[in-house]
Structure 1
């Protein structure tokens, strides 16, 4: 699963919601202002949903197939996670 987070953006990746979810989850996990609060478990992201540590406010299937959407982000996050496409254009923000 971790490999999916580091492959180049391409047509296949863009149209695979589960892979997009992992990639967005991973980018949010590496955001320094979010990393100790949300998206802590990349290899088993269901655990973040189960323990309430996901950055999304969705049910299980919505959580797993959210893709790059930021529509369902929790309101109380310290900062807004970037999409993997935005994150690849520069360093991950520290705040």
Structure 2
């Protein structure tokens, strides 16, 4: 499990986030997702720590705290939901079916 960190400054680096969480335990990894098109950080990240107790301590200390000019949103990360590709609408029309009635 990991910790979700939201409302991050777009200037934050993995090292910045790692240092902030290191005060509460051993940081195993930091992920800062970026936008595919622009390469710009998306404003949130994930931190994995060595134990649940360390994660809880970091959440308790940092949720709502001001950091780099922003009020952080910190909580247990939820498992990623499977995303299904969104097809192009079609309004339920079945292209393989032809209407037998004429208007």
TM-score, normalised with respect to structure 2: 0.29
Larger Rg: 2
Name the structure where helix makes up a greater proportion of residues.
1
Scaled by the length of structure 1, the TM-score of the pair is: 0.31
